[in-house]
Structure 1
Amino acid sequence: MNILLTGGTGFIGTLLTRQLSGQGHQLTVLSRNPEHVPSICGPGTKGLGRLEDITPDQRFDAVINLAGAPIFDKRWTETQKRIIWDSRVLLTDRLFETLERLVVKPEVLISGSAIGYYGNQGDTVLDEETPAKDDFSHRLCLAWENSALQAEQLDIRVCLIRTGLVIGHEGGLLQRMLLPFKLGLGGRIGAGTQWMSWIHRQDWINVACAMLNDDSMRGPYNATAPNPVTNREFTETLAACLKRPALLPIPVWALKLLLGEMSELVLGSQRVMPLRLINELGFSFEYNDLESALTEALSPHRD
């Protein structure tokens, strides 16, 4: 396949591009620094500086849209929230305009989303049909998904991948958690009863590859392992994998003071099940339990 990717130089995108390239696909990656794309994503990968540089006669069999400013990097000021919004929603709008210009349309658009779509729902078990609760994360994901779904007007199959906490080597939220836990300073957040829905990065990539190849897949899919855990269980498992104690809980008031509105990402509870992947596809996860996912992510790597 000839595949166009946005967000191909990120934590998920770099491994995805290398795997797809290894399977013989031709990849073009949108990047602010297109000259660096081959060294990041693998030899033979083309860098693209602007969507506007794509000409109407270019052909792509598939488009994977993962672009977005990091969600955890800065406090959620109104300015930062606008950056987060524009980097997802407005870029996806521009991507749709690009697809409109193409003489030959791609077969499929796989577009990023997140389980933030559901909002904070406590102990409720969530699947793709569960109504959402309104907050900034929900509004962001809803607008992001609606922007991608415009491509259905062009007879393009659209898959939405609602991503949970991605666990992998040297990246994502896990990377930010490691230092205090390695120092024995980690612990649960508040009471630790909030649910954390996670997925190993390789399983996420396997989901995306299934979407590329299975033309029965369309609409939203929860990209989470079938065994979500509470924050207490997550922190205790991480500490055990690192052979460190997890003795210092973080008070809710301190987290809210430190992070402001962004604290909803770690205080909110989303007990998400990948119901469509399991029931419709019989999808098999390589990493079903948290301990095996963390052990692999923390082990020495080849890449």
Structure 2
Amino acid sequence: MNILVTGGTGLIGSEFIRQHQKKHSFTVVSRNRDKAQALLGGDIDILDSVSKIEDMSAFDAVINLAGEPIADKRWTDTQKRIICESRWSATAEIVAKINDCKTPPKVFISGSAIGFYGNQLDKQVTEDTQPNDEFTHQLCSKWESIANGVDNSVTRVVLLRTGVVLTDKGGALGKMALPFKLGVGGKLGHGNQYLSWIHLQDMVDAIAFLLENEACNGAFNLTAPGPVTNSEFSNQLASALNRPCLFTVPSFVMKIAMGESSTMILEGQQVIPQKLTTAGFEFTYPSLTVALAEIYQG
């Protein structure tokens, strides 16, 4: 396939391209062409904006992973607008280009997140679960709605409701692991809130599965089938690192440090990849124990 990727220099996009560039040809949209070329290699075509694409008919598929990192900064009103617009405007531009071309791509895979569901306490969450209306739901709901503006009678639309991606190549795990490496790690808040995660390799494999499986459409939870509580995650991470898990970071400390965005850590969701497993996808790393062992022991 000839595939257009936005967000191709990010953790997920760059790994997907690295693993599949012998099978597919890629064009990547990146504002920093030199950085993208250095990261992805000379065989990848780089465009600095979607507006430079004259005709989407050139592509068999589009994978849209662009967006401002959601947890890197405090959620001020300004930062919330940046987070939203970086996803909404980029997706709207792609949708318009797809709808305007004579021979649209066969599949449009667009990012989303399990934040779509909002706080669900300890309820088991599937793709059919009614969401709780809060900022992350409003962000993801509109993001998905824009993506669904593609004419799905011609182009298959798949939405990736992604959990916390675990890898030693970047992302959240390094930040989570640092306190444990320093010997001061422990659970966050009461520790009963769920963490829905997915190993990076399963994330890459799931995207490939959804790309190629023509029966798959709509929203899919990209999380492992074994979500765990924060307390369990903390203990397993400590064990994988051969470090103690002795401390508790009180909720009020997280709220002071992170502001409103701390809700993503202190509340959480127990998300199950129901549609993905029903479609026949098999996880290489279905349990946290196996995932952390691969990451830290190879």
CA distance in 2, matches of 1:190, 1:57: 48
2:27 alignment partner, SS class: strand
Q: Is the 8 A contact 1:117 1:142 kept in 2?
A: yes
**CA-CA distance at 1:299 after TM superposition:** 4.0
Letter paired with 2:290: S
Matches within 5 A, 1:270-285: 270-279=269-278, 281-285=279-283
Instruction: Report the more deviating stretch, 228-237 or 97-106.
Output: 97-106
**CA-CA distance at 1:191 after TM superposition:** 1.0
Change (3 A) 1:57 1:73: closer
**CA-CA distance at 1:175 after TM superposition:** 1.4
1:132 equivalent in structure 2: 131
TM-score, reference length from structure 2: 0.97
CA distance in 2, matches of 1:96, 1:282: 29
Letter paired with 2:210: M
Q: Is the 8 A contact 1:222 1:275 kept in 2?
A: yes
1:106 equivalent in structure 2: 105
Letter paired with 2:242: K
**CA-CA distance at 1:71 after TM superposition:** 1.1
CA distance in 2, matches of 1:192, 1:22: 43
The answer to whether the aligner puts 1:158 opposite 2:160 as a matched pair is: no
**CA-CA distance at 1:187 after TM superposition:** 0.6
Matches within 5 A, 1:145-184: 145-152=144-151, 155-184=154-183
**CA-CA distance at 1:162 after TM superposition:** 0.5
CA distance in 1, matches of 2:58, 2:126: 35
Letter paired with 1:284: E
Using the aligned pairs only, state the percent identity: 45
**CA-CA distance at 1:48 after TM superposition:** 0.7
Structure 1 residues 206-247: Cα deviation after superposition (integer angstroms, max 9, x where no partner): 111011111110000110110100000001100110000111
Q: Is the 8 A contact 1:37 1:46 kept in 2?
A: no
Runs of 4+ in 1 over 4 A off after TM superposition: none
1:295 equivalent in structure 2: 293
Q: Structure 1: give runs of 5+ residues left out of the alignment.
A: none
1:134 alignment partner, SS class: coil
CA distance in 2, matches of 1:75, 1:145: 24
Q: Is the 8 A contact 2:238 2:244 kept in 1?
A: yes
**CA-CA distance at 1:104 after TM superposition:** 1.7
| Structure 1 vs Structure 2 CA RMSD | 1.3
CA distance in 1, matches of 2:46, 2:232: 41
CA distance in 2, matches of 1:73, 1:299: 28
Structure 1 residues 254-302: Cα deviation after superposition (integer angstroms, max 9, x where no partner): 11111110001101120011111112x22110001102211222346xx
Structure 1 residues 174-218: Cα deviation after superposition (integer angstroms, max 9, x where no partner): 011222110111110111000111100110111110111111100
Letter paired with 1:283: F
2:253 equivalent in structure 1: 254
**CA-CA distance at 1:39 after TM superposition:** 2.2
CA distance in 2, matches of 1:188, 1:112: 29
Letter paired with 2:15: L
1:20 equivalent in structure 2: 20
Letter paired with 1:109: F
2:231 equivalent in structure 1: 232
1:55 alignment partner, SS class: coil
**CA-CA distance at 1:14 after TM superposition:** 0.9
Q: Say how many residue pairs are matched.
A: 298
**CA-CA distance at 1:169 after TM superposition:** 1.9
CA distance in 1, matches of 2:56, 2:147: 22
**CA-CA distance at 1:70 after TM superposition:** 0.8
Letter paired with 2:91: T
CA distance in 1, matches of 2:294, 2:29: 30
Letter paired with 2:197: W
**CA-CA distance at 1:120 after TM superposition:** 0.5
Q: Structure 2: give runs of 5+ residues left out of the alignment.
A: none
**CA-CA distance at 1:58 after TM superposition:** 5.0
CA distance in 2, matches of 1:58, 1:50: 17
The answer to whether the aligner puts 1:210 opposite 2:209 as a matched pair is: yes
The answer to whether the aligner puts 1:81 opposite 2:91 as a matched pair is: no
1:144 alignment partner, SS class: helix
1:15 alignment partner, SS class: helix
Letter paired with 1:61: D
TM-score, reference length from structure 1: 0.95
